[in-house]
Every structure is written in structure tokens, then in C-alpha cells.
Structure 1
């Protein structure tokens, strides 16, 4: 795995700082416990719009990238569309890594 964002996401999982799945993520966002939400590019349009609104309303940073199979492989699952980070410091670092990766792609 070469992508540093995915590597740090796996570390966040091992640290127990992730909430996995649509319903759990929605619940934790509404409770104000999420500082970063990551959804796959392959999520349905309705679900994408729902999480965009939810994250905007609760001031949660949202990253829409990667295929559901790629995100799932990080978590030891076949696929996953929604992952939420519940640790502010790890969220901040993931956002930094992601932004840096985006800047280096162009």
C-alpha cells in the first residue's frame, strides 16, 4: 500500500478511532463525536447528498474519494462506503495527508 492516507487510515482503525458504516457514522455525526467523514466515490447519489448535508450541518470535514473496495480492504472488509473518524488529532493528520497527496497529484 503506497498511499500514505490509506496507511494512516489503517493505523486509525488499529487505534480504535474509526466508526464504520452508514448507520453508525450517521449516529456518531449527530452526536457530535465525528471530526472527519470519508465516503467512497461509489456511494449512491442519495447517500452522498445525505452525508454532504449531515457533515455541513454538524461542521464535519468530508472527504469523498476512493472506491468502496479500497476503503474496505483497509478495514479487512470486502467493501465499505462510509467511515468516520472519532479522534480530532487523527482527523487533523488525515486531512493534512489527504490535502498534501492532492497537491502532489497535480
Structure 2
């Protein structure tokens, strides 16, 4: 994993500071528990629209430059399409790397 953002995603996941899955991510956005959401570049249109619309409403940064395979590899899971970073420190560092 060469990309620093993906490395930070892996660290955040290992530390238990991520929220995964569409519904849980939407809830984290609504409740203010996240300021960074990672959305797979190859996510379905419906999922992408729901996540992006909610992020725009709540002023949450969306990063959609990675595929679901890259996000899955970074988190050590299978078919990860969307996840939120719930830790302010990890979120800040990821934003700085954009």
C-alpha cells in the first residue's frame, strides 16, 4: 500500500475508528460523528448519490478516488464501498493529505 491516505485508513480501521456500511455511514454523517467519508469510485449510482447528498448537507468531505478493491485492501475487509472516519485526528490528517 503506497498511498498515505490508504495507510491512514488502515490505521484508523485497526484502531476501531471507522464506521462501515452505507446505513451506518449515513447515520454517522447525520449525527456529526464524522468529517471524512470514503466512497468507492465504482460505487453504485444510488449509493453514491445518497452519500454525496448527505455529505453536502452536513458539510462532510467525500473522497471518491479509490475503488472498492483498494478500500477493502486498506481495511482488511471484503467489498468495502463506503466508510467514515470517526476520529478527528485521523480525519484531519487524511484531509491534509488531499
TM-score band (shorter)? Answer: over 0.9
> How far does residue 87 in structure 1 lie from its aligned partner after superposition?
1.3
> How far does residue 69 in structure 1 lie from its aligned partner after superposition?
1.1
Partner SS state of residue 78, structure 1: coil
TM-score (structure 1 length as normaliser) = 0.86
Matched residues, number: 98
Unaligned runs of 5+ in 1: 100-106
1:15 matched residue in structure 2: 15
1:42 matched residue in structure 2: 42
Q: Does 1:27 align with 2:41?
A: no
> How far does residue 27 in structure 1 lie from its aligned partner after superposition?
1.2
State the Cα deviation string for residues 14-60 of structure 1 (Å, max 9, x = none): 11110011111011111111110010001011211111110011111
> Contact between 1:39 and 1:83, CA under 8 Å: does it hold in 2?
yes
Higher mean C-alpha displacement, 54-63 vs 71-80: 71-80
Alignment of 1:57-96 (within 5 A): 57-96=57-96
Work out the CA distance in 2 between the residues paired with 1:32 and 1:2: 30
TM-score (structure 2 length as normaliser) = 0.93
Tell me the C-alpha RMSD between the 2 structures: 1.0
